[in-house]
Amino acid sequence: MRDFLLAKLGHTLIVLFCVLTLVFVVLHLTGDPVMMMLPSNASREEIDALTKSLGLDQPLIVQYGRFLARVARGDFGVSLQHQQPAMGLVAERLPASMLLAGSALALALVVALPLGILAAARRGSALDRLAVGLAALGQSAPIFWTGLMLMLVGSVILRLLPTSGYGTWRHLILPALTLASYPMAAMARLVRSGMLEVLDADYVRTARAKGLPEREVVLKHTLKNAAMPIVTVIGLQFGLLLGGAIVCEMIFAWPGVGRLMIFAIYNRDFPLVEAAVFVMAMVFILANLLVDLCYAWLDPRVKLQA
Amino acid sequence: MGRPRVPTFLLLAAAPVVAAVICALLAPQLAPHDPTRGDLSARLRPPAWTAAGSARHLLGTDQLGRDILSRIMFGARVSLLVGVVSSLIGGTIGLALGMLGGYFRGRADSVVAKLIDVQLAFPFLLFAITVIAVLGPSLPNLLIILALSGWVTYARVVRGQTLSLRETDFIQAARGLGCPAWWILLRHVLPNVLSYALVIMTTEIGRLIVLESTLSFLGLGVPPPTPSWGMALADGKEYLIDGWWLATFPGLAIMVIVLSMNVLGDGARDLLEPRLRGRAGRG
């Protein structure tokens, strides 16, 4: 187990390093950050002063070293627009994003698990076909369209829920439902196919032959073995969830990290973009690490392969 | 064994794709109006079948009085172009890297595997947004970034197939005869992995169309006034109360195309796999 943990941790560090290098390269080599940070009518003196204060007159390798040192201290500089430390601004918005992503993931699981199990247990029934159809639709609709249509129905036509904003549970419903739509569909499909595969296995036939009630066969003998691919997919979904959260926050004016980042891009507020990208990448990497650990816990064979 | 029969549902699924291709190719001839010219006296007209609609604008008009149907038809150009071209570029990169890694193994393979790992470990939309934020939105930038998003899927599958192909008798024979590696890769490996790449490409095009429209929706896609489905949706968001049709129809277009692509991809895989499995058994 220790070797497995160390290997995973090493891998995580390598990925993190790559992400940081990528952020540095993208923001520092493609054009002059000073020109992007200053208004177009800035004077020569202003340009020189900012270049010097950012250390951009130093050789690239020195800048890179300083960048890594700053990041290690959690210092991403001061947001140009808000005149506050960029990391602080992102940290302020993080709980809202986590609330949205967490609710969406929970919602997706609560719907997808029973739906997938029932569809597999009653293969070919009307319920099965409905589940498969809904899942195909859910996986094809772009998330921003799902969001707008839910807003149209829930807020504009039925006038049940607020169109946007943050604060009460009523504000959470539409964004969470929107964000959940894709992972819900993907998971329902996967639970169904995972269950179908296992339902044909010999030990399931044995369990049935022993005279166990079907309910017990499905829930006790099948579900546990079908859980593996589901956990993997939850891990894979996390990246999509993160990307989806950005779109969702934009649609519903949800005050999360994604929305902060997009507005920082519009305003060319690069310290803030750097901090936001870094935090989102961190969350994603940590979530994947967690999934890997879950995986090893569910299936002891994984540890041996590492 | 004869040619596998193509199921009817696959033909049905292909219909929207064919229609979109025709719309994209012949948009200037087919579209009823100029997609970029607005008529301010005809702003926010509802679709023709509603009480206030007129037959002049079948799907209504947007906030600047531009015809929605025409904008969807012209928008198909951007969506399909971006989807097809970037999946071709991504497919080529993925095929090349996958074949090289799988065939040469050793160091080349571990470099490819690490590249795949790193890319999978990073949420792609985040990367795309960062790069476009710096480089600025334009069609070439978009094509390159979307191409970079897709190569991994091809590389993984092709690498796996190449690994098993290189042990087969006919490849071993070619090596024994002294064929150079590039000849074996192009002449013997490529034809055997190409069908896998084509199946992946079908679903990839759908995914890339969604990704492109997502970036457009965030204001990071092909810049205006070029009509694109994602941008039409972003415009429609502001007018959800006064004009539900602005956002509804472009989104419907995306969903139908992506659904068709997904069904076609699944169908192609089902048609292809038994045949390929048979071949592996013989080899």
pLDDT band for position B220 (50/70/90)? confident
Q: Which of B85, B68, B76, B60 is nearest to B16 (CA)?
A: B76
- The nearest alpha carbon in chain B to A143 belongs to B214
Distance between start and end Cα atoms, chain B: 18
Q: Which of B228, B259, B264 is nearest to B71 (CA)?
A: B228
Of residues B19 and A294, more confidence is placed in B19
For testing contact with chain B, the best of A15, A21, A30, A140 (most B CBs within 10 A): A140
Q: What is the 3-state secondary structure (H, E, C) of chain A?
A: CHHHHHHHHHHHHHHHHHHHHHHHHHHHHCCCHHHHHCCCCCCHHHHHHHHHHCCCCCCHHHHHHHHHHHHHCCCCCECCCCCCEHHHHHHHHHHHHHHHHHHHHHHHHHHHHHHHHHHHHCCCCHHHHHHHHHHHHHHHCCHHHHHHHHHHHHHHHCCCCCCCCCCCHHHHHHHHHHHHHHHHHHHHHHHHHHHHHHHCCHHHHHHHHCCCCHHHHHHHHHHHHHHHHHHHHHHHHHHHHHHHHHHHHHHCCCCCHHHHHHHHHHCCCHHHHHHHHHHHHHHHHHHHHHHHHHHHHHCHHHHHHC
The answer to whether residue B145 scores a pLDDT higher than 70 is yes
Query: Residue A119: CA atoms inside 13 Å, Cβ hemisphere, count?
Result: 25
pLDDT band for position B97 (50/70/90)? very high
Position of tokens 């293969």? A123
* Orientation of helix B139-165 relative to helix B190-217, angle to 10°: 150
Q: Work out the average pLDDT over A31-36.
A: 62
User: Which residues fall within 8 angstroms of residue A220, CB to CB, at 6 or more apart?
Assistant: none
Is some CB atom of chain A closer than 8 A to the CB atom of B125? yes
Residues of chain A contacting B117 with CB distance shorter than 8 Å: 11, 15
Query: ∠ at Cα A125 (A124, A131), nearest 5°?
Result: 90
Q: Which of B185, B191, B187, B192 is nearest to B276 (CA)?
A: B192
Q: Work out the average pLDDT over A245-269.
A: 86
The amino acid occupying position B191 is P
Residue B278: predicted pLDDT: 38
Residue A35: predicted pLDDT: 67
Residue B96: predicted pLDDT: 92
Gap between the Cα atoms of A175 and A180, Å rounded: 8
Q: What is the percent of chain B where pLDDT is above 90?
A: 5
For testing contact with chain B, the best of A144, A181, A272, A284 (most B CBs within 10 A): A144
Position of tokens 């039925």? A158
CB A187 within 8 A of CB A233: yes
Cβ distance of A277 and B214 shorter than 8 Å? no
Least confident span in A36-50, A150-164, A273-287, B161-175: A36-50
Gap between the Cα atoms of B13 and A250, Å rounded: 32
Residue B206: predicted pLDDT: 85
Position of tokens 């005050």? A255
Q: What is the percent of chain A where pLDDT is above 70?
A: 89
The answer to whether residue A224 scores a pLDDT higher than 90 is no
CB atoms under 10 Å from CB of B94, counted, come to 28
Distance from CA of A137 to the nearest CA of B (A): 7
Residue A61: predicted pLDDT: 81
Residue B273: predicted pLDDT: 64
Residues of chain A contacting B262 with CB distance shorter than 8 Å: 136, 139-140
The answer to whether residue A200 scores a pLDDT higher than 80 is no
Is some CB atom of chain A closer than 8 A to the CB atom of B148? no
DSSP annotation of B42 reads G
Q: Cα B186 to chain center, whole Å?
A: 25
Mean pLDDT, all residues of chain A? 80
- The nearest alpha carbon in chain A to B255 belongs to A141
The token pair at A253 is: 């004016």
Q: Work out the average pLDDT over B143-161.
A: 86
- The nearest alpha carbon in chain A to B263 belongs to A136
The amino acid occupying position A199 is L
Gap between the Cα atoms of B261 and B21, Å rounded: 13
CB A49 within 8 A of CB A234: no
Q: Work out the average pLDDT over A144-150.
A: 87
Q: Work out the average pLDDT over B224-241.
A: 80
Q: Work out the average pLDDT over B90-94.
A: 92
Cβ distance of A280 and B133 shorter than 8 Å? no
Cβ distance of B241 and A156 shorter than 8 Å? yes
The answer to whether residue B141 scores a pLDDT higher than 70 is yes
Residue pLDDT, tens place only, A75-130: 887 887 788 888 899 999 999 998 998 899 889 889 988 888 888 888 888 888 88
Of residues A167 and B140, more confidence is placed in B140
Residues of chain A contacting B121 with CB distance shorter than 8 Å: 15, 18-19, 284-285, 288
Q: Cα A88 to chain center, whole Å?
A: 21
For B:197-226, CB contacts with A below 8 A are: 206, 210, 213-214, 217-220
CB B99 within 8 A of CB B162: yes
Gap between the Cα atoms of A7 and A1, Å rounded: 10
Is some CB atom of chain A closer than 8 A to the CB atom of B241? yes
Cβ distance of B135 and A30 shorter than 8 Å? yes
Of residues A135 and B38, more confidence is placed in A135
For testing contact with chain A, the best of B134, B216, B255 (most A CBs within 10 A): B134
Residue B121: predicted pLDDT: 67
Position of tokens 């790559």? A18
Residue pLDDT, tens place only, B202-212: 888 888 888 88
pLDDT band for position B276 (50/70/90)? very low
The torsion angles phi and psi of B241, rounded to 5 degrees, stand at -80, -40
Residues of chain A contacting B79 with CB distance shorter than 8 Å: none
